[in-house]
Chains A and B, each alone.
Chain A
Amino acid sequence: MPVVTRGWVTCAVLAAALGSVGAYAQPPEEGLPSEDGQPWYERGGGTDAPDDGAGTTPSPEEEEPALAVPTPPAGETAPTSSPSETSAPSAAAEATSNRSGFFFGSYGRISAVSNLRGGLGRESDIVAFNPRIDEDLYFELELRREDELVGNLRSRIVATVAFTGEFFHLDSEFDENIAVRNLFAEVQNALVDDLSLWVGSRMWRGDDVYLLNFWPLDNLNTVGGGIDYRALDERLDLRLAVGLARPDDPFHRQVDGTVANSGFLPADVVILDRPRTTVAAKATYFLFGRRVERGAKISLYAEGHFLPEGRRNIEFGITEVLPRDGGYVLGGQLGGWDVGNRAFVNLFFKWGRGLGAYNPLGVPFRVGGVMDSSRAREALVALSANWETGPFGLQVGAYYRNFRDADPNVFDRNHMAEGAVNLRPHVWVGNHAGLSMDLSYQALQMSALDEVTGKVVRGGVTKIGFIPFYSPFGRGTYTRPHLRIIYAATIRDDGAQRLYPFEDPRSRQSVEHFLGVGAEWWFDSTSYGF
């Protein structure tokens, strides 16, 4: 049996079993062996499901998270970003087995939604990682070149372009927001078997919480390189990546115009240029082996963040020193799966300090004279689970997060606790249609006091939704594409309404509707596990 699963992030086997498949490769039912005699989840081929770990839900996401309406602090927005790299490089390695050539993959979702008040439906969340039933437009296009070389040596070049925002047919603006999400080259089985090297710009991430559109643990977007190694008869995955990120914001970069040495046009001078270096390491151990019907894994994860000292101009003659800064993330994940029941559960833990408490592409908060992030911290617990039996299924997503920014204020809107619980039971009607119900509750509490109530700022949002859908590739929670009708009712409590500016109608609306049609697809994309 060919080895087809080589990812760093584990548990994808079950995810694959649960039906995250390419548009042109319907996974066999119930994990039965495929035509070539292999279990379908171990079969190579770019259109198959992620191979590498239960809970790796194929749900890429756009860079900008669907923020809670009262815009959460930048640090909070960070973890939600970016498509999954779930079992990324290794899975693609599987995809390359027995073939060379150009490959195309995609993830996307699109919807046309009304708020039943004459306007477009929109997100209505208050927490950073919110239930995704009312999510926005987003899609990725990926082109890869994969080659089998001598021996086991394989290479691939991956380019992924992502689009977000409102599309032309909606806003009549003939432009889109475009970003290059992946642009890297990778060599597998380089130097020694099971060793992969990659260099480039890459989304680097592990398992997600699909319902919350959220990668709780490893979720990096950097330009750099990495090494991946699988050992102990594939029971141990080791990953190491080093990358740079230099967001174009005043905390990292400042460019001033000056009089050029010649000619008439001013010249730009880079005053501040201090990229953040991030080192990330992850070790995953499969307790009962990687390719078992019922398995478990444990992951340990760490990040180090390093930001050199810098100096920027405030105005002429006044400069400001930005001191050296740093931070770390420590985390872990426990996961288990049962292929037969198409079930998995993942439990995540994360602790971040300093820069590690923020989005690596974000700007740490600055209040007054706070010039470094050493006081900031983030504690996070998250859960993702799935269970299917017969025509019934249940998805679960939840998280709790406690965040404090870098300033010493005790009462602060950037000192908060928040969380969400999202349940999505569904029932299949035949092999291609089904009905999902989406129930969620999200809540937020800040240490700051509300000037109106005299109490801490807090709010809660309950959502009830129904999603009739059609799945041409058949059953499976993670089978795609899905064509859907979506209805969601958002119910805000008083506190949630007060989170909006008074002029925003939502500050006076306790109920908001979201009704429309939508579609979601994914196939053959590294964003969800190749």
Chain B
Amino acid sequence: MVVRQHQLRVLTPVVLASLGLGLFACVDDWRDEVIYQMLVDRFANGDPGNDHRLDPSPTSLARFKGGDWQGVIDQLDYLEELGVTAIWISPIVLNVDADAGFDGYHGYWQVDLERLNPHFGDLATLRTMIQACHERGIKVVLDIVTNHLGQVFYYDINRNGRPDEFLAGGYPTNPGDPQAPAGTPVTRITEYDPDWDPRGIQSVTSLGEAGPAPIRFFDMPEIYRVPPRPVVFQRPESYNLRGKVTDWNDRDQVVLGDFPGGLKDIDTTNLEVRDEMVRVFSDWVLKLDLDGFRIDTLKHVEHEFWQDFSRRVRERLSAAGKDNFLMFGEAFDGDDVLVGSYTFPGEMDSVFYFSQKFQVYDEVFARGGPTANVQRLLDQRATNYGSEPQELGIGISPQEALINFIDNHDVPRFLWRNADPRALRAAISYLMTQQGIPCLYYGTEQDFAGGNDPANREPLWWSGYSRDGETFRWTSRMARWRRTYPALRRGDFNLRWTTTRTGDEIDAGILAFDRQYEGQYALVVINAQGNHPSETRSPENTAMTVGAAAGTVLVDLVTGDRFTVGADQTLVVEVDVFGTRLLVPEDQVVAE
């Protein structure tokens, strides 16, 4: 009933927004936000009317499960209580529904960029969802893909007009030379997803190669495996046609190759393709009043595209009155230089901080590695990441607005690496207090522990949407403190203690930093290891110095403990295993 009333309440703004009357929701400062990443198919099922081709088995996580946009509407209270202020929803456009026994529930197998995926609802429902989010101050970020489409065509390598998988090779290497090797190597070829060929995929006959392989689009409308739209994607010249990436260290392959699984790589240097990308994705923003893009597979597209795309999208949205539109991307790579390279002028407002995910959340919090990793990464940030806000962007430099995350839909969940939920909560503490924008993967708050894709894509309803779990409550508390104390959101960031020690040492696992913003101060001390309580002093008894003035009384918001900063601005605090102390000056404590 609540949902229906809510829908009625937002009806008027939906209609007005559709008329372009400028009801866009705008974000003041993206650092204030807590993003919650959800796979719509797995978050909540609110409309049984679109439960098409569901596989109810709890083990078949590669199949549709039924989540939809109505489900998001229904669970906004849950999100609000968790402390979420922005949601990142999985792609909304029509996808190839099924391929090789797997479903396109995730949304990354695009086939029509201008139509919605009916599994998740219709335009009215999606608009209603976004308006409902906006009414609660929750922003909506849309996941988009410009690098590839779903498996909409095959390479007709043997030119028989149908998709095949076959063995080829053994051809004479030099028919006229008796000394020539007997034959070329025999290899397995799949026309759905052939291996990389820098010349472009070649057709072959029993006598050898026979020139570039033609492509043929599938015609399977029952699963939306049809020629893609807009129509520019129905032309072979809109694709790179070089086959599947086999060497991820080969930059050409990474940029020009098909994504494994037969996802066809788009030629993003094609100006018509670019025009359509800008048009269709900008249109979605204006039609839906979106607040940001999460952009897939950054590193698989050339920088020139991002510079062009980002600028034109920003210009169009700005002209339409949509400001502070966040564009951040995914460069799934541990190379900090590479990840940061997309944040220089003209490109992304931000990126997922993958190098931090690997070096800090995995190495430090999950595996008990040295917290000095944090310092090392921080030292590189000024070099590797853009220091100036993008023109017409969010007004914050990428260095200050990195998207921090513990895990996501492409990597095993934290608890799969370290089953101790205390470690996870310690990681959440850092996520919510460090510089940048926290992004929480759905289910983390419910202690989900799935491994690699698709095991890490559990339906959230398995949890019963419980709000009583310790991790849920901890996340909620951390989000609330973040909201309450602006230093935790916008403050500068000063590391006060990290260590290379990971054993029995007194400071093993200690990560401490303080943040200050317009006179507000917060000190965070985390023990990232689970072996023993640690303190903010070295084995040589050198104490941590902090930014607070000597004599300042700091109150630990977690425990209520009080600490006084020493005369030399030193402070020694003990933190329990995987514990967190969130210390603010006594006079700045806000009553809860």
Residues of A participating in the B interface, judged by any CB pair closer than 8 Å: 256-260, 262-267, 315-317
Contact = CB atoms under 8 A, between A and B. Distances in A.
A262 B121 CA distance: 10
A262 to B, nearest CB: 6
Interface stretch (B218-226, B280-288, B477-485): B218-226
A258 B225 CA distance: 10
B234 A264 contact: no
The 3 lowest CB-CB distance pairs between A and B, nearest first, are A266-B221, A257-B221, A264-B52
B291 interface: no
A258 B221 contact: yes
Contacts of B227: 316-317
B362 interface: no
B219 A264 contact: no
Contacts of B217: 316-317
B118 interface: yes
A303 to B, nearest CB: 38
Interface string B201-217: 00000000000000011
Nearest to B94: A259
Contacts of B221: 257-260, 266-267
Nearest to A266: B221
B229 to A, nearest CB: 9
Nearest to B227: A316
Given A264-B52, A264-B53, A264-B118, A259 B219 contact: no
B264 to A, nearest CB: 14
A449 B112 CA distance: 54
Contact of A259 (B50, B112, B119, B161): B112
Contacts of B234: 316-317
12 contacts: A256-B219, A257-B219, A257-B222, A259-B94, A259-B112, A260-B221, A264-B52, A266-B222, A267-B221, A315-B161, A316-B227, A317-B227
A258 B218 CA distance: 11
Nearest to B226: A259
A257 B221 CA distance: 6
Interface in B45-97: 50, 52-53, 94
A263 B222 contact: no
A212 B222 CA distance: 48
A259 B226 CA distance: 8
A262 B122 contact: yes
Contacts of A266: 221-222
Contacts of B94: 259
Contacts of B224: 259
A316 B219 contact: yes
B216 A316 contact: yes
A264 B112 CA distance: 14
B219 A315 contact: yes
Contacts of A256: 219
A257 B226 CA distance: 10
Contacts of B161: 315
B222 to A, nearest CB: 5
B55 to A, nearest CB: 15
Contacts of A257: 219, 221-222
Contacts of B222: 257, 265-266
Q: How large is the interface on B (under 10, 10 to 19, 20 to 34, 35 or more residues)?
A: 10 to 19
B118 A262 contact: yes
A50 to B, nearest CB: 52
A22 B115 CA distance: 65
Contacts of A263: 118
Nearest to B225: A259
Contacts of B50: 264
A450 B284 CA distance: 67
B231 to A, nearest CB: 10
Among A259, A260, A266: residue with most chain B CB under 10 A: A259
B122 to A, nearest CB: 7
A264 B216 CA distance: 24
A505 B227 CA distance: 48
Given A257-B219, A257-B222, 10 more contacts: A256-B219, A258-B226, A259-B112, A260-B221, A264-B52, A266-B222, A316-B216, A316-B234, A317-B227, A317-B234
Nearest to A264: B52
A430 B132 CA distance: 96
Contacts of A258: 221, 226
Contacts of A260: 221
Nearest to A268: B221
Interface string B108-137: 000010010011001000000000000000
A263 B47 CA distance: 13
A48 B279 CA distance: 76
Given A259-B94, A262-B122, A315 B216 contact: yes
A316 B115 CA distance: 20
Interface in B31-52: 50, 52
Interface string B161-197: 1000000000000000000000000000000000000
A296 B122 CA distance: 74
A266 B52 CA distance: 13
Nearest to A261: B115
Contacts of A264: 50, 52-53, 118-119
Contacts of A259: 94, 112, 115, 221, 224, 226
Contacts of B53: 264
Nearest to A260: B221
A4 to B, nearest CB: 59
Interface string B368-383: 0000000000000000
Contacts of B122: 262
A257 B94 CA distance: 16
A264 B97 CA distance: 10
A263 to B, nearest CB: 6
A263 B112 CA distance: 14
Contacts of B219: 256-257, 315-316
Nearest to A258: B221
A402 B4 CA distance: 75
Contacts of A262: 118, 122
A260 B234 CA distance: 18
A315 B219 CA distance: 8
B572 to A, nearest CB: 63
B19 to A, nearest CB: 22
Nearest to A313: B219
A260 B227 CA distance: 14
Contacts of A267: 221
Contacts of A316: 216-217, 219, 227, 234
A256 B53 CA distance: 23
A256 B226 CA distance: 12
B73 to A, nearest CB: 19
B297 to A, nearest CB: 25
Contacts of B115: 259
A317 to B, nearest CB: 7
A316 B224 CA distance: 14
Most chain A beta carbons < 10 A, residue from B221, B222, B234: B221
A443 B118 CA distance: 62
B48 to A, nearest CB: 13
Nearest to B234: A317
B376 to A, nearest CB: 50
Contacts of B112: 259
A259 B229 CA distance: 11
B521 to A, nearest CB: 55
A345 to B, nearest CB: 57
A258 B224 CA distance: 8
A232 B563 CA distance: 126
Contacts of B118: 262-264
A222 B224 CA distance: 38
A317 B217 CA distance: 9
A166 B147 CA distance: 58
A257 B219 CA distance: 8
Nearest to A317: B234
Contacts of A265: 222
A283 B342 CA distance: 85
A317 B227 CA distance: 9
B323 to A, nearest CB: 33
